[in-house]
């Protein structure tokens, strides 16, 4: 499931200790959604001279210049010496020419070479909606066929080491290149440090529009999503949250995600970038008219689903969509809308920036139990709200991936299990992270205390940094001796295999109050 792994890989890039973020000031970024490709005019990518070659010529010129200065000084000394010897004028001038001519000519040659390297006509790539054309530089690698149709692209690969910093600042590339391989033979290598960022963005948009996103390799997708994250002024850590949520679903299918700038509901929603995709689901960052950011969760049933199963899954989706749309809690991402379009089901969720608790814990060397206790109290408060509604709402998917550490330090719940339940009804396949699913939910009989089990499993991860053993009672103190007895007892009680022995959300809230 390559698409579903891309964002996590990008978030896990080695950045040499720098803070992982691709956020840039919004005024410096032009949105990809507004940079639509022209319908008829050609686009041109100007291939700049290689920086390493330019520096080589510059060093050569500097060397020649230093040589000329030293030789000139030496020539003056020789002339003075010859004058002292009262040599003949003809011989004197021959000595001057011999001493100065060679370094002066060498310096001039270096300057001319540098000028040609910097100002000479650079090769280019031209493309339109019909085809993509390459200059003579790529003639040999393309086997003499320099004009290719978009449908002839077999794959687009990205090589070298990418980092959030290099993508954001568009520099510090270490041998990074794009390689376009064609079905009919031949390939073209494009070095990133010889291209402008907006040119690479436009090229990716053209590939999506005129070819197919499936030709992009995993690393090429990584670069495309990184550029999109910069353009939309969001942190890559946020995009990986949704990837983690989809990672455990299904093997690859014929499901094709929406393209950038696609519109839904007669223009009410416009897709800005794909956050994740896997199996039968996708998640997008979208713009909601007039200019609010939302997260769109997309689900689709397999085409061979029988009518009875399809109707049952649809009923579940619509019923839970209506329930979730009524939620009103400051630490729960609001469900803004749910709708069906072109046979696909969508839930629109409030966009909340931050990092998942999983990402936060993985980035911290020390476990702060006091902070975890505060988070636990907030999580319990959310569960109290959900479980005491009429009828109660069972979350079904409480994990460190669906809980967000907001910028104000509070925890927010950003996703629900409705899409997973929806797909599970249609396919008979359990969806979710097994380490956080209670035994009764595993058997298809979820109840409010199933969320309590997930709560306890989540606390185990926060205290140890490791997922608990599936379908078992957790004791985090066994893995982390610094965990207090009271916290260890809370986790063990919440993950008790006997549903009746688990505390309620209200009881957990009282217990967490005593842990502060």
Of 282 and 336, the structure prediction assigns the larger pLDDT to 336
Closest Cα partner for 413 from 403, 424, 405, 427? 403
pLDDT of residue 301 exceeding 50, the answer is yes
Placement of tokens 């199996």 in the chain: 279
Tens digits of per-residue pLDDT, 182-197?
888 888 989 888 888 8
**Residue 431: CB atoms within 10 Å:** 23
DSSP string, 176-188: EEEEEEETTS-EE
Work out the angle between the directed axes of helices 51-84 and 89-119 (0-180°, nearest 10): 170
Q: Report d(CA 231, CA 212) in Å as an integer.
A: 21
Nearest-10 Cα torsion for 468, 474, 479, 483: 120
Beta strands in 315-420 (DSSP E): 335-341, 344-350, 355-356, 403-405, 411-413
pLDDT at 28: 39
pLDDT at 113: 59
Q: Take residue 74 and report the two structure tokens written for it.
A: 């030496």
Query: pLDDT tier at 244 (50, 70, 90 boundaries)?
Result: very low
Of 196 and 63, the structure prediction assigns the larger pLDDT to 196
- Options 3.40.309.10, 3.40.50.11030, 1.10.510.10, 3.40.462.20; which CATH number does 355-515 get? 1.10.510.10
**Residue 88: CB atoms within 10 Å:** 9
Question: Which of 109-113, 272-276, 299-303, 458-462 shows the lowest mean pLDDT across its residues?
Answer: 109-113
- List, in order, residues 6 or more apart from 493 with CB less than 8 Å away: 456, 501, 502, 503
Q: Report d(CA 190, CA 127) in Å as an integer.
A: 14
Of 327 and 290, the structure prediction assigns the larger pLDDT to 327
Alpha carbon distance, N-terminus to C-terminus of the chain: 42
pLDDT at 67: 67
The mean per-residue pLDDT over the stretch 104-115 comes to 61
Question: Which of 23-32, 108-117, 185-194, 221-230 shows the lowest mean pLDDT across its residues?
Answer: 23-32
* Domain locations along the chain: 51-119, 355-515
Q: E strand or H helix at 209, and its extent?
A: helix 197-210
pLDDT of residue 261 exceeding 80, the answer is no
Q: What are phi and psi of 474, to 5 degrees?
A: -100, 140
Q: Report d(CA 78, CA 307) in Å as an integer.
A: 101
Average pLDDT, the chain: 76
pLDDT at 193: 83
pLDDT at 221: 76
**Residue 257: CB atoms within 10 Å:** 19
pLDDT at 105: 65
Placement of tokens 């840039």 in the chain: 24
pLDDT at 132: 92
CB 44 within 8 A of CB 124: yes
The mean per-residue pLDDT over the stretch 15-19 comes to 37
pLDDT of residue 180 exceeding 80, the answer is yes
Helices (H) and strands (E) in the chain, counts: 15, 16
Q: Report d(CA 120, CA 82) in Å as an integer.
A: 45
Query: pLDDT tier at 422 (50, 70, 90 boundaries)?
Result: very low
- Long-range contact set of residues 461-465: C-beta below 8 Å, sequence gap at least 24: 461/357, 461/358, 461/361, 461/400, 462/357, 462/361, 462/367, 462/372, 462/375, 462/376, 462/400, 463/367, 463/369, 463/372, 463/487, 463/491, 464/367, 465/361, 465/362, 465/367
Placement of tokens 């060498």 in the chain: 106
The mean per-residue pLDDT over the stretch 171-182 comes to 84
pLDDT of residue 428 exceeding 90, the answer is no
DSSP string, 46-93: E-PPPHHHHHHHHHHHHHHHHHHHHHHHHHHHHHHHHHHTT--HHHHH
pLDDT at 362: 83
Tens digits of per-residue pLDDT, 432-467?
578 999 999 888 788 999 999 999 999 999 999 999
| DSSP classification of residue 343 | T
Entry pTM:
0.60
pLDDT of residue 127 exceeding 70, the answer is yes
pLDDT of residue 314 exceeding 50, the answer is yes
CB 111 within 8 A of CB 61: yes
Of 410 and 251, the structure prediction assigns the larger pLDDT to 410
DSSP bridge partners of 392: none
The mean per-residue pLDDT over the stretch 91-106 comes to 60
pLDDT of residue 93 exceeding 80, the answer is no
Question: Which of 103-107, 271-275, 425-429, 442-446 shows the lowest mean pLDDT across its residues?
Answer: 425-429
CB 260 within 8 A of CB 56: no
Query: pLDDT tier at 216 (50, 70, 90 boundaries)?
Result: confident
Q: Report d(CA 265, CA 8) in Å as an integer.
A: 30
């Amino acid at each position: 499931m390559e698409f579903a792994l891309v964002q996590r890989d990008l978030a896990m890039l080695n950045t040499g200790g720098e803070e992982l973020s691709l956020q840039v000031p919004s005024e410096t970024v032009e949105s990809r959604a507004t940079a639509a490709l022209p319908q008829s005019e050609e686009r041109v990518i100007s291939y700049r001279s290689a920086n390493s070659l330019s520096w080589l010529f510059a060093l050569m010129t500097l060397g020649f210049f230093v040589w000329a200065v030293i030789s000139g000084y030496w020539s003056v000394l020789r002339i003075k010496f010859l004058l002292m010897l009262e040599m003949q004028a003809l011989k004197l001038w021959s000595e001057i020419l011999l001493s100065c001519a060679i370094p002066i000519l060498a310096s001039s040659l270096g300057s001319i070479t540098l000028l040609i390297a910097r100002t000479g006509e650079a090769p280019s790539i031209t493309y339109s909606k019909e085809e993509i054309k390459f200059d003579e530089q790529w003639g040999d690698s393309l086997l003499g066929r320099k004009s290719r149709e978009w449908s002839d692209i077999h794959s687009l690969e990205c090589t070298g080491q990418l980092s959030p910093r290099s993508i954001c600042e568009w520099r510090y590339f270490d041998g990074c290149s794009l390689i376009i391989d064609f079905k009919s033979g031949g390939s073209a290598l494009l070095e990133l440090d010889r291209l402008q960022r907006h040119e690479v963005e436009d090229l990716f948009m053209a590939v999506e529009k005129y070819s197919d996103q499936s030709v992009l390799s995993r690393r090429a997708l990584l670069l495309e999503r990184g550029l999109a994250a910069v353009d939309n002024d969001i942190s890559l850590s946020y995009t990986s949250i949704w990837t983690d949520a989809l990672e455990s679903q299904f093997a690859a299918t014929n499901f094709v995600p929406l393209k950038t700038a696609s519109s839904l509901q007669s223009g009410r929603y416009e897709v800005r970038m794909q956050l994740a995709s896997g199996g039968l689901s996708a998640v997008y960052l979208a713009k909601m008219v007039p200019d609010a950011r939302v997260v769109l969760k997309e689900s689709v049933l397999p085409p061979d689903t029988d009518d009875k199963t399809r109707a049952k899954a649809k009923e579940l989706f619509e019923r839970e969509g209506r329930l979730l749309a009524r939620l009103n809690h400051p630490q729960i991402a609001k469900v803004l809308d749910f709708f069906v379009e072109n046979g696909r089901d969508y839930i629109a969720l409030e966009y909340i920036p931050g990092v998942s608790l999983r990402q936060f814990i993985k980035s911290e060397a020390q476990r702060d139990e006091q902070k975890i206790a505060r988070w636990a109290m907030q999580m319990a408060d959310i569960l109290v709200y959900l479980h005491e509604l009429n009828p109660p709402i069972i979350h079904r998917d409480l994990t460190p991936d669906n809980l967000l550490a907001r910028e104000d330090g509070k925890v927010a719940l950003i996703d629900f299990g409705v899409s997973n339940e929806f797909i599970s009804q249609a396919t008979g396949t359990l969806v979710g992270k097994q380490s956080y699913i209670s035994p009764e939910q595993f058997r298809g009989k979820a109840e409010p205390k199933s969320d309590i089990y997930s709560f306890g499993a989540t606390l185990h991860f926060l205290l140890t940094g490791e997922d608990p053993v599936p379908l078992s009672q957790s004791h985090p103190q066994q893995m982390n001796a610094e965990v207090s007895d009271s916290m260890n007892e809370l986790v063990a009680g919440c993950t008790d295999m006997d549903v009746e022995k688990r505390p309620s959300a209200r009881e957990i809230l009282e217990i967490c109050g005593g842990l502060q």
